[in-house]
């Protein structure tokens, strides 16, 4: 098994709504935690900066590469922003890992940031719509809740999943987040709460949808041979997969199946020489509850069409056969869009280092992260080991 | 000298204003030229797609990675958008080269696209402003013409450059574009035309500013050992540099000096084992005429403070000691923001292959491309050889 790169330290801001903070300040908060978590690192040894960020609309700000590099004292190093809607955070990680593997850099900083709460719900819905097809979806009124509602209806109709199954995903992830001090929403909910919550796009209700969050997360990566200089507790990227699907849902043969997620997972497993059964736990992209069930199937934790069985049998609870979203997931830890992929890595790095207190998964060895953008249209997956 | 990657084919749409075309259609136009320019390539051998694009505002569209991958028939390959304002095109190239060097991919597609003309001048000015500092520049009314006007005033005051020198850059680049059939503006102008044109932000006048353009450009890259399979006329990336500066002009010690440009050029020269005197010609980032003069200095073609001497003595004309912007530059070939970095590579690849007709530079061996975003705040440079 090849260790592509080492993660030597991670940091994450608190996730929530912070009207008093700019995005750059959330990045500083995340970076300082990562900085304090490693040793012997000189800022000038960081060779490049990759920043995941979804939308310029929220802060009227592009050039996040330069902004972060400046505010973290890393000038004059090269930087760039990467974007694939909500996959931006994992794309930053993937770019950083590629830079390490290339040998062009020994140490890089990867970062994800989104500062959403400056805008109204309508403005945010509109900014997210830009991840669907301009010509054939946006103009016809598609929003992301309606896109995922169509996927849910297709899955229900074809495979017999139901609104109770979706609610169970929300209940589990809210429960997990209770033990996560940085989570956006720390509130236990019942299935009845979910089922009685306001309909957003039937069958999805308010509690089937992730919240609008501010937040940032970072990871410091280096080539594996150097890791012990900076930390006694590195983790390692041992698999990586990237795949794209049609941006428009209307172009797909079967909207109940996230093909690019399956492809990216397959790429990751192949690179790591692992199978789904080798994975100890996963952080997946539950922007809407249906998507967690689709990701069970695409990751190979359940057979195609049988994702709902995993939640019904509690296999994906902490303590179950394959725990999913111990952090609380997008649903409850929160979903600062461009940061989410690195929030997943923050949880994984800490779980693999046994730092997660009451939500700790015992004996974890390999973790899978699935981060996607749009309607599972850009997918980046990573397998991390300790 | 190490050949990091080979450019086997390039394509570029016509640059201009095309109300009848979406951005994706411009990408298809550019791709088909590149596709027809190489042989033995199977779409499924392209391992990844990197797309440079500045702003979601123009088309209300993010996820350009997925969109391009879909429209070019390259699904399910991985993709991402990269952004550093006007440096996006070269950042896509840099990402593609890094992916090749890493060995994770053998063949990749890099692309730049901007479809600007759907919006009014005010909307475009506003979208470009998002590349300056939200907190301390945008709110005080800074626009990009005013930012570059400040740089021009500082240079004039410190070194004695003048409005005639700026005008001479515009005159030269307009003359070069006369012989470029894909250029946005093919119109000879005189110094008097420039000096009498409308003041935008003094000392910059209308003809000191690049136009608002639609356009796309692509390059197909592969590892050097494979190049001969796809073409008899490859070029090679032999140097690459990336650097960042403060996003805000107010934070810089000397705004007459583009420090990140000098740093990125220095990185490129060092990687290639070359000096400024080895460069046969350059494409530099003349979004405003003053910036071409600043880039002469930062690239080492002129001493610091003496950039105006290069234009006065016609050293940067085609046929001069170091021709700059034979394509017509941003000023006259046009400036589809996220595509510009790859428009530069399109010119360089064709010049190095002696395909440029009346604007051909004889005996060209090494070319430098300088692509920057914001106020020279993200800079990516490449040295290409034949």
| Lookup: tokens for A31 | 């970076």
Instruction: From chain A, pick out residues whose CB is under 8 angstroms from the CB of B102.
Output: 98-99, 101-103
Give me Rg for the CA atoms of chain B: 19
B64: helix, strand or coil: helix
Domain hosting B111: range is: 5-119+213-235
pLDDT band at A15 (very low <50, low <70, confident <90, very high): very high
Query: Chain B within 8 Å of A69 (Cβ-Cβ)?
Result: yes
Q: Residue A113: what are its φ and ψ, rounded to 5°?
A: -150, 135
CA–CA separation, A93 and B268 (whole Å): 25
Query: Chain A within 8 Å of B212 (Cβ-Cβ)?
Result: no
Handedness of CA A60, A62, A63, A67 (dihedral sign): positive
pLDDT digits (tens, 9 = 90+) for A110-124: 999 999 999 999 999
B196 Rama sector, left if φ>0, alpha if ψ -120 to 50, beta otherwise: alpha
* Residues 276-335, chain A, touching B (beta carbon < 8 A): none
Same domain, A165 and A224: no
CB contact under 8 A, B242 and A78: yes
* For B137, nearest residue in chain A (alpha carbons): A61
Peptide bond into B203 cis (omega under 30): yes
Handedness of CA A177, A182, A187, A192 (dihedral sign): negative
Strands A204-205 and B204-205: unpaired
Residue A66 pLDDT greater than 90, yes or no: yes
The CATH number linked to A110 is 3.40.47.10
pLDDT digits (tens, 9 = 90+) for A160-214: 999 999 999 999 999 999 999 999 999 999 999 999 999 999 999 999 999 999 9
* Residues 117-146, chain B, touching A (beta carbon < 8 A): 127, 129-131, 133-135, 138
CB contact under 8 A, A244 and B65: yes
In chain A, pLDDT over 90 holds for what percent of residues?
Answer: 98
Residue B61 pLDDT greater than 90, yes or no: yes
CB contact under 8 A, A264 and B82: no
Mean pLDDT, chain A, integer? 97
pLDDT digits (tens, 9 = 90+) for A229-246: 999 999 999 999 999 999
Q: Residue A385: what are its φ and ψ, rounded to 5°?
A: -125, 165
- Per-residue confidence (pLDDT) for residue B349, from 0 to 100: 98
Residues 6+ apart with CB under 8 A from A180: A186, A327, A328, A332, A333, A359
In chain B, pLDDT over 70 holds for what percent of residues?
Answer: 100
Instruction: From chain B, pick out residues whose CB is under 8 angstroms from the CB of A91.
Output: 80
Instruction: From chain B, pick out residues whose CB is under 8 angstroms from the CB of A26.
Output: none
Question: What DSSP string runs through B112-172?
Answer: EEE--TTS-HHHHHHHHHTTS-TTTTGGGT--HHHHHHHHHHHHHHHH---HHHHHHHHHH
Is the Cβ–Cβ distance between A90 and A61 less than 8 Å? Answer: no
- Per-residue confidence (pLDDT) for residue B338, from 0 to 100: 98
CA–CA separation, A366 and B384 (whole Å): 42
Residue A139 pLDDT greater than 90, yes or no: no
Residue A53 pLDDT greater than 90, yes or no: yes
Same domain, B89 and B36: yes
Cα distances (Å, whole numbers) of residue A216 to A15, A286, B1, B153: 8, 18, 40, 38
Give me Rg for the CA atoms of chain A: 19
| Lookup: tokens for B85 | 């304002």
- Per-residue confidence (pLDDT) for residue B129, from 0 to 100: 95
CB contact under 8 A, A135 and B373: no
Same domain, B176 and B39: no
Q: Identify the residue among B49, B243, B247, B379 best suited for mutation to test binding to A, counting A beta carbons within 10 A and taking the highest.
A: B247
| Lookup: tokens for A157 | 């109709």
DSSP H helices, chain B, are 23-36, 64-71, 88-102, 121-129, 144-159, 163-177, 191-196, 227-230, 259-272, 289-298, 307-312, 329-332, 340-352
pLDDT digits (tens, 9 = 90+) for B283-298: 999 999 999 999 999 9
Residue B161 pLDDT greater than 90, yes or no: yes
Residue B374 pLDDT greater than 90, yes or no: yes
Long-range CB contacts for residues B187-193, cutoff 8 Å, separation at least 24 = B187/B332, B191/B164, B191/B167
Is the Cβ–Cβ distance between B166 and B203 less than 8 Å? Answer: yes
Same domain, B369 and B220: no
CA–CA separation, B94 and B237 (whole Å): 10
CB contact under 8 A, A104 and B101: yes
Q: Residue A172: what are its φ and ψ, rounded to 5°?
A: -60, -45
Same domain, A196 and A225: no
Distance from CA of residue B254 to its chain's centroid?
24
Is the Cβ–Cβ distance between B51 and B65 less than 8 Å? Answer: yes
> What is the interface pTM, i.e. ipTM, of the complex?
0.98
Q: Is B122 exposed, middle or buried (0-12, 13-18, 19+ CB in 10 A)?
A: exposed
pLDDT band at A141 (very low <50, low <70, confident <90, very high): confident
Write the residue in B79, B82, B98 that is nearest to A104 by C-beta.
B98
Q: Average of pLDDT values for A327-338? A: 98
Residue with tokens 């705004």: B255
- Per-residue confidence (pLDDT) for residue B141, from 0 to 100: 87
CA–CA separation, A280 and A239 (whole Å): 14
Mean pLDDT, chain B, integer? 97
pLDDT digits (tens, 9 = 90+) for A77-118: 999 999 999 999 999 999 999 999 999 999 999 999 999 999
pLDDT band at B104 (very low <50, low <70, confident <90, very high): very high
Query: Chain B within 8 Å of A371 (Cβ-Cβ)?
Result: no
Is the Cβ–Cβ distance between A213 and A15 less than 8 Å? Answer: yes
Final residue belonging to a domain, choices A200, A235, A270:
A235
pLDDT band at A257 (very low <50, low <70, confident <90, very high): very high
Same domain, B148 and B259: yes
Q: Residue A228: what are its φ and ψ, rounded to 5°?
A: -65, -15
Write the residue in B74, B241, B244 that is nearest to A75 by C-beta.
B244
Residue A225 pLDDT greater than 90, yes or no: yes
Query: Chain B within 8 Å of A246 (Cβ-Cβ)?
Result: yes
Q: Average of pLDDT values for A27-44? A: 98
Same domain, A204 and A291: yes
Is the Cβ–Cβ distance between A235 and A385 less than 8 Å? Answer: yes
CA–CA separation, B371 and B88 (whole Å): 8
pLDDT digits (tens, 9 = 90+) for B121-156: 999 999 999 999 988 899 888 899 999 999 999 999
A314 Rama sector, left if φ>0, alpha if ψ -120 to 50, beta otherwise: left
β-partners of residue A114 are A215
Same domain, B79 and B172: no
Same domain, A204 and A347: yes
Instruction: Compute the CA torsion angle A331, A332, A334, A340 (nearest 10 deg).
Output: -60
Same domain, B358 and B296: yes
pTM listed for this prediction = 0.98
- Per-residue confidence (pLDDT) for residue A135, from 0 to 100: 85
Query: Chain B within 8 Å of A110 (Cβ-Cβ)?
Result: no
- Per-residue confidence (pLDDT) for residue A77, from 0 to 100: 98
Same domain, B165 and B314: yes
Instruction: Compute the CA torsion angle B51, B52, B57, B63 (nearest 10 deg).
Output: 20
Same domain, A113 and A188: no
Instruction: Compute the CA torsion angle A301, A303, A309, A315 (nearest 10 deg).
Output: -20
CB contact under 8 A, B76 and A102: no
Q: Average of pLDDT values for A352-356? A: 98
Cα distances (Å, whole numbers) of residue B248 to A342, B112, B151, B251: 27, 25, 13, 6
CA–CA separation, B224 and B236 (whole Å): 8
Q: Average of pLDDT values for A307-333? A: 98
Is the Cβ–Cβ distance between A14 and A75 less than 8 Å? Answer: no
Question: What total number of domains does chain A contain?
Answer: 2
DSSP H helices, B14-87, are 23-36, 64-71
- Per-residue confidence (pLDDT) for residue B339, from 0 to 100: 98
């Amino acid at each position: 098994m090849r260790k592509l790169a080492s993660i030597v330290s991670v940091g994450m801001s608190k996730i929530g709504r912070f009207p008093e903070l700019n995005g750059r300040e959330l990045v500083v908060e995340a970076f300082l935690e990562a900085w304090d978590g490693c040793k012997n690192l000189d800022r000038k040894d960081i060779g490049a900066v990759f920043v995941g960020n979804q939308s310029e609309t929220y802060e009227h700000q592009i050039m996040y590469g330069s902004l972060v590099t400046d505010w973290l004292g890393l000038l004059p190093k090269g930087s760039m922003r990467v974007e694939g809607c909500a996959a931006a955070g994992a794309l930053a990680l993937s770019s950083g890992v590629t830079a390490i593997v290339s040998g062009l850099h020994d140490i890089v900083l990867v970062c994800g940031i989104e500062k959403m709460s400056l805008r109204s719900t309508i403005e945010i819905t509109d900014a997210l719509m830009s991840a669907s097809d301009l010509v054939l979806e946006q103009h016809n009124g598609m929003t992301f809740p309606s896109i995922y509602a169509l996927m849910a209806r297709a899955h229900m109709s074809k495979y017999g999943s139901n609104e109770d199954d979706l609610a169970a995903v929300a209940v589990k992830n809210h429960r997990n987040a209770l033990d996560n001090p940085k989570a956006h929403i720390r509130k236990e909910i019942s299935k009845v709460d979910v089922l009685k919550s306001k309909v957003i796009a039937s069958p999805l209700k308010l509690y089937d949808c992730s919240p609008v969050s501010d937040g940032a997360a970072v990871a410091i990566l280096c080539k594996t041979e150097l890791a012990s200089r900076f930390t006694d507790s590195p983790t390692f990227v041992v698999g990586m997969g990237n795949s794209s699907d049609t941006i428009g849902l209307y172009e797909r043969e079967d909207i109940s199946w996230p093909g690019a997620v399956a492809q990216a997972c397959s790429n990751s497993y192949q690179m790591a020489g692992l199978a789904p059964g080798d994975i100890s736990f996963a952080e997946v992209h539950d922007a809407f509850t249906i998507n967690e069930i689709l990701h069970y199937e695409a990751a190979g934790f359940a057979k195609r069409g049988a994702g709902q069985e995993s939640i019904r049998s509690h296999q994906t609870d902490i303590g179950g056969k394959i725990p999913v979203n111990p952090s609380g997931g997008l649903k409850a830890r929160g979903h600062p869009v461009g940061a989410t992929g690195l929030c997943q890595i923050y949880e994984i790095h800490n779980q693999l280092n046994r730092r997660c207190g009451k939500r700790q998964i015992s004996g974890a060895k390999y973790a899978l992260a699935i981060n996607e953008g749009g309607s599972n249209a850009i997918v980046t997956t990573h397998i991390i080991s300790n």
